[in-house]
Structure 1
Amino acid sequence: MDAHAFTFASCALRALPSGALHWPEQSLLVVSDLHFGKSARLARRGGALLPPYETRATLARLDADLEATTAARVICLGDSFDDLTASDEMDEADRLWLLRLMAGRDWRWIEGNHDPGPGNIGGTHLAETRIGPLHFRHIAVAQATAEVSGHFHPKLTLAGQRRPCFLLSDPERLILPAYGAYTGGLDCGAAELALLMGPQALVIATGRRCLAVPYAATVQSSQRSSSFTR
């Protein structure tokens, strides 16, 4: 597993190629924006019809990460379900798979803007949570310290390919990429994200292996691309 090891708020963490965050000392795996049931939600609301396999693909990725890390604790950073109905309508085989992964683990569901309330899937449902010095929530807030969040689905364009990425500004905040299949994303140099990142921030791109690059370089690249398209 070609993970990227780094320190955030004095905690030794690992960014995994899948987009998950691993904290070995706490036996913790953190994932964000799973968006289970997105294809069903789009079909239900008359949107684009997508092959209904994204939940299974996301579960397979999660299963592999849990087996590789042997994590005993899991935090899902919100938007785990594409809406609250998706939790109720989850395919029975997928629900049983998820429950098997949850069994015997401290599993915390953080509320997101897509799933702003407790579901019926078990685990602990929280607005936000804290472990050691790290504060876990769905959406980053101003003036944060040691904050781990998701929501923005940051992506980096590298060699012509858009790759989900972590954004790290130590010791203020760490933003995780979307973990779920069928999730779009926001360019990591976008104004909304630039406001949250410090001058020494780092981008950690996911893929077959994680690759870390300075955030300032991605902002400059994004600005150059924008100037060509105006």
Structure 2
Amino acid sequence: MPPRVDLPFSPIERALFVPAADTLVIADVHLGRGAASSVDAPIDDAKAIRDRLESLLTRTDPETVVVAGDVLHAFDGVPCGVERDLAALEDTVDAADASLVVTPGNHDTMLETVFDGTMVGEYRLADDETVVCHGHERPKTDATRYVIGHDHPALSVDGRKRPCFLYGPTVYEGADVIVCPAFTTLAGGATVNEMRARAFQSPLVTDADAFHPGVWDDSSEELLWFPPLGACRRLL
């Protein structure tokens, strides 16, 4: 059951749509993750990312797409092909008549060398209530809610690990916090079932027990909300 009936955002698969701002938010794309994997066969994660994003753009038709950090995977270099993949990602957003904004993450130290689009540390959406940032640092902008990534949350249900959203009402200095799962499917995810606040990397997660996990159900095409993590620990 959702923690609220009138939530001002709509999780869709691994993305978050904010209707009042006509904005689609994704986090932790990690372009180049496939190239960094220790497998013999190359993994074309960039094409899979573009295909899923294109599908979401068709479904939501947003005015703006915001990437909440970690567009790139590598800290100290840009693997061969990543610049091309990033340009193709930009083209996908442009073809949908949307604008692209990036709030750089801790992995994006080299992003300026391959991306000349809009970058801002914290981005306030058109609803004037929501601020998007990566979440690895405390935000400097006041907001009613923060949408972040960074921790790659996942929930273990019946022995299966599923990427999940985390929604914490009024958990950070009175503001709501929504933690998005990693958009790349190559990120294993941090299993949040037993994680306490000190285990999270984001300083915006100050009371892990208060966050409601939500898992996308492909069959019903809706997010299934679970009780707060404090209660889930007794149930899962």
Tell me if the contact between 2:106 and 2:136 (Cα under 8 Å) persists in the aligned partners: no
Query: Identical aligned pairs, as a percentage?
Result: 23
TM-fit CA distance, 1:124: 0.6
Match of 1:15 in 2: 11
Greater CA deviation, 99-108 or 80-89? 80-89
Q: Which residue of 2 aligns with 1:201?
A: 211
Unaligned runs of at least 5 residues, structure 1: 223-230
Judging by fraction of residues, say which structure has more helix: 1
SS at match of 2:226: strand
Please say if residues 22 and 29 of structure 1, whose CA atoms lie closer than 8 Å, have aligned partners that are also in contact: yes
- Which residue of structure 1 aligns with residue 70 of structure 2? 79
* 1:100 corresponds to which of 79, 82, 91: 91
Displacement of 1:20 in angstroms is 0.2
> Which residue is equivalent to 1:160?
159
- Whether 1:135 and 2:128 are equivalent positions in the alignment is no
- Normalising by structure 2, we get a TM-score of 0.77
The structure 2 residue matched to 1:51, chosen from 25, 42, 50, is 42
Residues 136 and 95 of structure 1: CA distance in aligned 2, closer, same or farther (over 3 Å): closer
Cα offset, 1:80, TM superposition: 1.3
The answer for the alignment partner of 2:22 in structure 1 is: 27
CA distance in 2: counterparts of 1:54 and 1:161, whole angstroms: 22
| CA–CA distance in structure 2, aligned partners of residues 114 and 126 of structure 1 | 15
Contact 1:55/1:181 (<8 A) preserved: no
Of 211, 214, 220, which residue of structure 1 is paired with 2:224?
Answer: 211
**1:67 has 2:62 as partner:** no
Deviations 1:166-191 (A, max 9, x none): 10011331111111121111112312
The change in CA–CA distance for 1:24 and 1:220 in structure 2 (over 3 A counts) is: same
CA distance in structure 2 between the partners assigned to 1:114 and 1:160 by the alignment:
30
Asked if residue 188 in structure 1 is aligned to residue 175 in structure 2, the reply is no
- Deviation of the 1:134 alpha carbon: 1.4
Residue by residue, what CA displacement relative to the aligned partner does 1:30-86 show, whole Å, maximum 9, x if unpaired?
0000111112134xxxx4556321111111111100111001101101111112644
TM-score normalised by the chain length of structure 1: 0.79
- How far off is 1:7 after superposition? 4.7
- Which blocks of at least 5 consecutive residues in structure 2 are unaligned? 171-175
Q: 2: distance between equivalents of 1:67 and 1:109?
A: 20
Paired positions, count = 210
Shift of 1:88: 6.4
CA contact (8 A) 1:39 1:52 kept: yes
Residues 176, 6 of structure 1: alpha-carbon distance in 2 compared, 3 angstrom cutoff: farther
What CA RMSD, in Å, does the superposition of the two structures yield over aligned residues? 2.9
**What do residues 155-211 of structure 1 show as CA deviations (whole Å, max 9, x unaligned)?**
001122111001001133111111112111111231224953465431111241421
User: Secondary structure at the residue paired with 1:64?
Assistant: helix
Task: Name the SS of the counterpart of 2:9 in structure 1.
Answer: strand
In the alignment, residue 32 of structure 1 is paired with which amino acid? A
